[in-house]
Chains A and B, each alone.
Chain A
Amino acid sequence: MNSLAAGVVHVLLLVTLPPLLMGVIGRIKAWMAGRTGPPLLQPYRDIARLLRKGAVYSRTVTWVFVAGPAVSLASVFTAGLLLPLASVRAPMSFEGDLVLFAYLLALGRFFTMAAALDTGSSFEGMGASREAAFSALAEPALFLALATLAVTTGQLSLSEILGGLDAPRAVLPAILLSAAALSAVLLAENARIPIDDPATHLELTMVHEVMVLDHSGPDLAMIEYASAVKLFITSTLLAAVAVPGLAGRPVALAAGALGVACIVGLVESVTARLRLPRVKQFLIGASALGAVALATTMFTRGAA
């Protein structure tokens, strides 16, 4: 595939596929609960419906509140361009782009938090404070996992790393540990059970959902779409790490991302949420896994 065609396929997948993952999770949860559930394409319809509506703004908010959803969407979409989805080299790829990937996710989160604080609502402030605490703990896990992958493949760009995981020099236990740490980060980043419950209506228990309560219409559509894109790119990353050799194969990667969504749906169907103070232990555990992965890699590579 030439690079232009690959770029087009990449963008098409990145734009069209994400809401399907949400639909799959919803369907699996419904199925596990003995219900039929909403149609697979319901998330697309929800976004379309929200886009047709008007937005309501409180008199107290500033441009930060308005910019929040757009920045979130732009940042996750840009992060999606760093993954080798349709060819072994991503549309945007350079040495050290894994740091950009991590901080693009952080940028989106920062603006969501800032928009939440901008409303001045005590609920949203509570959500932002929880999100800040949890993301501060999830970030080390993400970096340790990415660093492990960088060390084990000897590469610094996501395309090279994900493409090099099936090379002989890669250390399998370290990759599996990194995948475990990335799974925990995926659950935290996407506000899924056991960290957060995307289905709850109870504001006092929410982390992510409570921060976006004041958004409506197209803004809410952007937020929902951004959440779906974020789930898609983190699932794709996890799939590419857990099953080395998927990088650059669009159909296999998309299937992998759908598989991750299925697992997320199954986990949500059979476990309860963690008590909020326990989330910290869960994320520190993920960082510990990342640290062990990194140590294992260094040790093995040192010995080799």
Chain B
Amino acid sequence: MTSVKAEPGRAGQPWTMGEVTSASPAAWREAVLGEHGRGGRLVGLFAWPEGPGARTLVAILSFDRRGRLAIHRTRVPADGEFTSLTPVIPGAQAFEREIFEQQGPRPAGHPWLKPLLRHEDPEGATGVATGTFFRVEGDGVHEVAVGPVHAGIIEPGHFRFQCAGEEVIHLEIHLGYQRRGVEALMVSASPARRLALAESIAGDASVSHATAHVEAIEGLSGVEAPPRAQAIRALALELERLASHAGDLGALCGDVGYLPGAAWLGRIRGDFLNLLLELSGNRLGRGLIVPGGVRFDLDDRLRADFARRIGAATRDLEEVCDLAFSEPSVLSRFERTGVLSGQDADLLGVVGPAARASGCSRDARADHPSGLYRFAHIAVTTAREGDVMARAMVRRLEASRSLAFLAEEIDQLPGGPLLEPPGPLRPDALVITLVEGWRGETAHLAATDPEGSLAVYRVVDPSFHNWFALAVAMRGGQISDFPLCNKSFNLSYAGHDR
């Protein structure tokens, strides 16, 4: 076998392009499938232009137990084909559809080669015409279309259900209404503007994406943020997680009409957002994180205040969760609703709380730690049932573990400066960063050209892996349980569409 495999790497540490040699498409496929067979999990599959009429294809696989990443690269003509990985690695399906739609190479043998983000027919023949949804026919089978305009103040997306009475036979989700072209903008924008872009990939995961972005820039320029800055970033990431988990638990209660949970958890979410506000001046933590460090400090007065308020939030959260999770009418709605089996979660490459609720132990904070997480550990929370209840319980436990982590880290915040300004980017290098945001693994890929300027940027929001899992979890379920099931995944439309 020709050399197709780069040395195993780590998240946040760049490869030089020389290390990532390009293999023939056949050897590349063999290598990727080989890594997958050895337990490698597909983090991302990307394509970008390489000279006129050609595309580089890059697959990144993660060996979570060892904390290692493998990268494999090949080259295909822009109007050519490559054999689809999806039949073997179902988690590749959305990546391959996007590559075909945005870059051109056709994944031959893809089972459902429909545009991913566009709604009109792209140039050239597609396997499945746009606007065609998988259809089930038969006695009593009917179709329900929901969105892209929804009743609540939520993002746009289209959901097409094939139902027999109240039972869902099949659900197809079509997104793409939030496409802003962030990845292309990232390359052309100024460094300061890039931060703003990263923070708005998915507004409710600003800290996750900002962290992944600055770690990529730091990796490429070879600086490390000072310890105090790393600690403050981790505090912000956990506060974001707490706000979202508390908000999600409250929204789950709201969806089943359980008022006390919805009201109190909604308020507690506000408490966490207020802490982020005092730390950074923004309730979503925007403007806090910059390449090389953080912009704002947690001074002694704030530290004492934070410690007190986190103690109070811990007690409030325990109290309301005990109440909600001992209420039979709530449990009867959460249990056995929207089951995602561990096997399906693995096949689809699901990440985040949704994966952990189905028994897949993967958490970038433990598997690919960066920043403070290299020194301070948070236990990975898992459940086995894979239902709405399991996803709620994982959130609850993660929230209490985050609170304990915060209390400890605020107490022992390291001293020192907040910023170590990064220098120029290393030329001809490629870096991948993995940050465990509240929704799951947030991956950013950045590559530089021979002049040392950013040439390629790719973003994988956890939602990109997880949307298909929501559709699978709905099969055989009640259509009236869809909103609840949807909320238990709480995926980002903007993060998926970028």
Contacts and interface: CB of A to CB of B under 8 A. Distances in A.
**A, B: real partners:** yes
Interface of A: 29, 32-35, 122-123, 126, 130, 193-194, 197, 199-205, 268-278
Q: Is the interface of B mostly helix, strand, loop or mixed?
A: helix
Given A33-B264, A34-B263, A271-B327, 7 more contacts: A29-B259, A32-B260, A33-B262, A204-B146, A270-B327, A271-B329, A275-B481
B303 interface: no
A271 B480 contact: no
Contact of A122 (B144, B259, B481): B144
Interface in B303-318: none
Interface residues of B, number: 32
A272 B333 contact: yes
28 contacts: A33-B264, A34-B267, A35-B263, A199-B257, A201-B152, A202-B151, A202-B152, A202-B483, A204-B479, A204-B480, A204-B482, A270-B259, A270-B260, A270-B327, A271-B329, A272-B253, A272-B256, A272-B258, A272-B327, A272-B329, A273-B257, A274-B329, A274-B332, A275-B337, A275-B478, A276-B478, A276-B480, A277-B166
Interface in B354-390: none
A276 B151 contact: no
A193 B257 contact: yes
B262 to A, nearest CB: 7
Contacts of B259: 29, 32-33, 268-270
Contacts of B484: 205
Interface in B238-288: 253, 255-260, 262-264, 267
A154 B459 CA distance: 76
B347 interface: no
A199 B151 CA distance: 12
Contacts of B255: 200, 202, 205
Contacts of B145: 122
Contacts of B144: 122-123, 126, 204
Nearest to B337: A275
Contacts of B257: 193-194, 197, 199-200, 268, 271-273
Interface string B311-338: 0000000000000000101101100010
Nearest to A192: B257
B166 A276 contact: yes
The winner among A122, A126, A272, A276 for most chain B CB atoms within 10 A is A272
B143 interface: yes
A275 B332 contact: yes
B264 A122 contact: no
Contacts of B151: 201-203
Contacts of B332: 272, 274-275, 278
Contacts of A276: 166, 478, 480-481
Interface string B128-154: 000000000000001111100001100
Contacts of A194: 257, 329
Contacts of A35: 263
A46 to B, nearest CB: 18
A200 B286 CA distance: 31
Contacts of B330: 272
B161 to A, nearest CB: 8
Contacts of B481: 205, 275-276
A35 B256 CA distance: 19
A273 to B, nearest CB: 4
A33 B260 contact: yes
A277 B479 CA distance: 11
Contacts of A199: 257
B258 A271 contact: yes
A33 B259 CA distance: 7
Contacts of B482: 204
Interface pairs A-B: 3 shortest CB-CB: A33-B263, A272-B258, A202-B483
A134 to B, nearest CB: 12
A205 B481 CA distance: 7
Interface in B19-46: none
A204 B263 contact: no
A146 to B, nearest CB: 29
B329 A277 contact: no
A119 to B, nearest CB: 14
Contacts of A203: 146, 151
Nearest to B254: A200
A32 B166 CA distance: 33
A201 B262 CA distance: 14
Given A201-B152, A204-B483, A272-B333, A34 B253 contact: no
B160 to A, nearest CB: 11
B333 A275 contact: yes
A269 B253 CA distance: 12
A199 B260 CA distance: 14
Nearest to A32: B259
Contacts of A34: 263-264, 267
Nearest to B256: A272
B154 to A, nearest CB: 9
Given A194-B329, A271-B327, A272-B329, A205 B143 contact: no
A204 B479 CA distance: 7
A203 B333 CA distance: 17
Contacts of B337: 275
Contacts of B152: 201-202
Contacts of A200: 255, 257
A9 B282 CA distance: 58
A32 B144 CA distance: 36
Contacts of A204: 144, 146, 479-480, 482-483
Contacts of A197: 257
Interface in B458-498: 478-484
A68 B216 CA distance: 61
A268 B448 CA distance: 58
A277 B336 CA distance: 14
Contacts of A271: 257-258, 327, 329
Nearest to A194: B329
A275 B480 CA distance: 8
A115 B479 CA distance: 23
Nearest to B263: A33
Contacts of A32: 259-260
A273 B333 contact: yes
The winner among A123, A126, A268 for most chain B CB atoms within 10 A is A126
